[in-house]
């Protein structure tokens, strides 16, 4: 073998064997060392490089194991055939844009809905709980688990939901999901085949429309008023796969579905044998009276209930659940398995403890007062600033309200103006299917804004709208 340039650097953390291996590998790959060429014996090379013979031996063994060289023991070591690769990617471009920049626009006041007060997440309690679970749980908890989730959590949740939401089911009907989005995506896979029809509120979160459509559904929109979906507008001859509703707090308009409409829905579902999918995303925060009982509790036979801890605790945890009629449970478990096997076990166990020890209910109680105050700041601020030019609705529950600004149209130009004024609001029209009826309405989320930010935000809106 000709003399090779094999510089070993003793000051690096990389072991000499590894350095040697990498250099030889690279030279074989790029053709500097060619097929059939004989390598120096381990003894020769050790002498030459002034290293122990073991260094060479280990590097050769690794190259041999990977097929770069052959004839390790016996009459010499040779570079193998077929081990060089034409390199076309040395100037491999890495020009991806960094998505993390521009995301937190400085000093922007963002009325994005659905975000709880992040500064009040019970981080100490949660931190202690996850540590305790990690240290004390049985070691089997660190293995693969069942797709439907931990029994501990399913049992605690069953008890909690019956008590607080009138949801009736057996723990075996529950599948723990990685947030409500996964719940929606599982429901879509469970119930939709291509060209199936789904009856849906209009407006409804744009993302939900996309999830159902991406599964091949055709959406039939039914208008919404202050009492939720106008169920008498569902044509009697429709045969949808399911009806999707947010009965406790319609998103975005904020209405609560009346008992009459609930019963109409149930009667329709009974007659057409379709399912009802109930998305109950933030009903715990009801400021006028107690939370409304679930639709699921009235019609457990064919209602799928989607729940989440994103609003009452934190979206970062990605914890939610589905309650399913027994006939759908097994297939849902399979789909969950295909999607990610199961939701992380330690997170599930921590949540089970958090609920069981009463932390969740205490937290909700505390946060309800916080959000009530923020809501009041927003409502009174809007009223004071815009007087009879603003109309507020959908504010009985949850973390957002809808404001109608008389004579304003939230078109691109106005939105740009607002953004330049460092305030972000969310037009209802983003979420409508039949366009046009809510041009003057925006969604204002207040969960994660301080009173000062809310006031300053209203000021900036007023400044931008010039009304």
Residue from the set 12, 85, 372, 406 that interacts with a second copy by CB under 8 A: 85
What the block records as the tokens of 368 is 């309800």
Q: How many residues bind a second copy (CB under 8 A)?
A: 114
The number of helix segments (H) and strand segments (E) in the chain equals 13, 17
- Beta carbon of residue 185, minimum distance to a second copy (angstroms, whole number): 6
Rounded CA-CA distance 167/22 in Å is 61
Contact call for residue 153 and a second copy (CB under 8 A): no
The residue among 265 and 461 lying less far from a second copy, judged by its C-beta, is 265
Shortest CA distance to 4 belongs to which of 45, 55, 53?
A: 45
Give the per-residue contact string, 4-23, with a second copy (x = CB under 8 A; - = no): -------------xx--x--
Does position 185 bind a second copy by CB under 8 A? yes
- Binds a second copy (CB under 8 A): choice among 27, 249, 311, 318: 318
Sheet with 242-245: strands ordered across = 174-177, 320-323, 303-308, 275-279, 242-245, 197-202, 218-225, 228-229
Sequence-ordered alpha helix ranges (H) in 138-205: 151-165, 179-191
**β partners of residue 307:** 321
Peptide bond into 203 cis (omega under 30): yes
Contact flag: residue 107 with a second copy (CB under 8 A): no
The yes or no reply on residue 146 touching a second copy (CB under 8 A) is yes
126 binds a second copy (CB under 8 A): yes
Selected from 19, 77, 250, 396, the binder of a second copy by CB under 8 A is 396
**Cα–Cα distance, 206 to 208 (Å, whole number):** 5
| Closest CB 227 distance from a second copy, rounded Å | 7
Q: How far is the CB of 301 from a second copy (least distance, A)?
A: 5
Told to check if 363 binds a second copy by CB under 8 A, we report no
3-state secondary structure of 117: coil
**If binding is defined by CB under 8 A, does position 128 make contact with a second copy?**
yes
Strands (E), 284-414: 303-308, 320-323, 390-393, 400-405
Check binding of 162 to a second copy (CB under 8 A): no
Is residue 316 close enough to count as binding a second copy by CB under 8 A? Answer: yes
Identify any residues that bridge with 244 across adjacent strands, giving them in sequence order: 200, 277
Cβ atoms of 272 and 239 closer than 8 Å: yes
- In the complex, minimum distance from the CB of residue 209 to a second copy, in angstroms, rounded to a whole number: 12
Q: Is 158 in the site for a second copy (CB under 8 A)?
A: no
109 to 1, 89, 265, 393, 446: CA distances (angstroms): 69, 44, 39, 21, 10
Nearest to 298 by CA among 330, 255, 327, 257: 257
Q: Which of 42, 182, 250, 377 binds a second copy (CB under 8 A)?
A: 182
What contacts 24+ positions apart, CB below 8 Å, involve 208-212? 208/184, 208/244, 208/279, 209/433, 211/181, 211/184, 211/185, 212/184, 212/188, 212/244
Which of positions 402-431 make contact with a second copy (CB under 8 A)? Answer: none
Site string for a second copy, 254-283 (x = CB under 8 A): --x-xxxx-xx-x---x-------------
Q: Which is nearer to a second copy, 306 or 464 (CB)?
A: 306
Residues 191-210 that bind a second copy (CB under 8 A): 210
Cα 339 to chain center, whole Å?
14
Q: Does 65 bind a second copy (CB under 8 A)?
A: yes
Shortest Å distance, C-beta 140 to a second copy: 6
By CB under 8 A, residue 92 contacts a second copy: yes
334/346 Cα distance (integer angstroms)? 21
Classified as helix, coil or strand, 129 is helix
By beta-carbon proximity to a second copy, the closer residue of 155 and 417 is 155
Q: Does 225 bind a second copy (CB under 8 A)?
A: no
Segment lying near a second copy (by CB under 8 A), choices 1-9, 111-119, 419-427, 449-457: 111-119
In the complex with a second copy, the residue whose CB is nearer, 104 or 466, is 104
- The answer to whether residues 401 and 254 touch, using CB atoms and an 8 Å cutoff, is yes
Give least dist CB 100 to a second copy, A. Answer: 5
Told to check if 3 binds a second copy by CB under 8 A, we report: no
Rank residues 5 and 92 by Cβ distance to a second copy and give the closer one: 92
Query: Could you say which of 113, 241, 421, 448 contacts a second copy (CB under 8 A)?
Result: 448
């Amino acid at each position: 073998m000709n003399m090779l340039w094999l510089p070993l650097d003793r000051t690096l953390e990389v072991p000499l064997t590894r350095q040697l291996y990498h250099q030889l590998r690279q030279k074989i790959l790029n053709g500097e060392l060619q097929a059939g060429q004989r390598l120096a014996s381990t003894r020769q090379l050790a002498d030459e490089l002034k290293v122990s013979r073991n260094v060479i031996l280990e590097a050769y063994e690794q190259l041999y194991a990977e097929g770069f060289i052959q004839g390790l023991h016996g009459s010499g070591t040779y570079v193998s055939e077929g081990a060089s690769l034409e390199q076309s990617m040395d100037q491999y471009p890495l020009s991806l844009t960094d998505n993390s920049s521009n995301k937190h626009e400085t000093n922007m006041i963002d009325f994005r809905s659905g975000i709880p007060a992040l500064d009040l997440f019970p981080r100490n309690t949660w931190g202690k709980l996850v540590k305790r679970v990690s240290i004390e749980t049985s070691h089997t908890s660190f293995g693969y688990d069942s797709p439907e989730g931990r029994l501990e959590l399913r049992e605690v949740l069953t008890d909690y939901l019956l008590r607080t939401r009138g949801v009736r089911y057996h723990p075996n009907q529950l599948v723990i999901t990685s947030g409500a989005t996964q719940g929606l995506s599982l429901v879509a896979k469970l119930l939709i085949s291509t060209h199936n029809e789904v009856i849906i509120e209009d407006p409804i979160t744009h993302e939900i429309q996309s999830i159902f459509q991406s599964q091949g559904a055709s959406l039939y929109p039914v208008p919404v008023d202050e009492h939720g979906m106008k169920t008498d507008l569902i044509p009697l001859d429709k045969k949808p796969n399911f009806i999707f509703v947010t009965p406790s707090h319609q998103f975005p308009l904020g209405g609560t579905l009346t008992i009459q409409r609930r019963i109409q829905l149930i009667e329709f579902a009974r007659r057409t044998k379709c399912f009802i999918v109930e998305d109950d995303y933030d009903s715990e925060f009801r400021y006028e009276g107690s939370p409304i009982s679930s639709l699921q509790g009235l019609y457990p036979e064919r209602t799928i209930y989607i729940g989440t801890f994103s609003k009452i605790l934190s979206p970062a945890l990605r914890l939610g659940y589905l309650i399913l009629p027994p006939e759908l449970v097994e297939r849902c478990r399979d789909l969950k398995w295909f999607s990610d096997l199961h939701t992380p076990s330690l997170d599930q166990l921590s949540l089970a403890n958090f609920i069981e020890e009463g932390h969740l209910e205490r937290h909700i109680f505390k946060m309800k007062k916080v959000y009530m105050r923020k809501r009041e700041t927003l409502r009174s601020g809007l009223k004071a600033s815009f007087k009879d030019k603003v109309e507020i609705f959908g504010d009985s529950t949850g973390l957002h309200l809808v404001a109608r600004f008389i004579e304003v149209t939230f078109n691109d130009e106005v939105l740009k103006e607002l953004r330049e004024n460092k305030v972000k609001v969310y037009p209802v029209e983003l979420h409508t299917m039949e366009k046009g009826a809510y041009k003057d309405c925006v969604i204002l989320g207040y969960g994660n804004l301080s009173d000062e930010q809310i006031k300053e935000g209203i000021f900036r809106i007023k400044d931008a709208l010039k009304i």
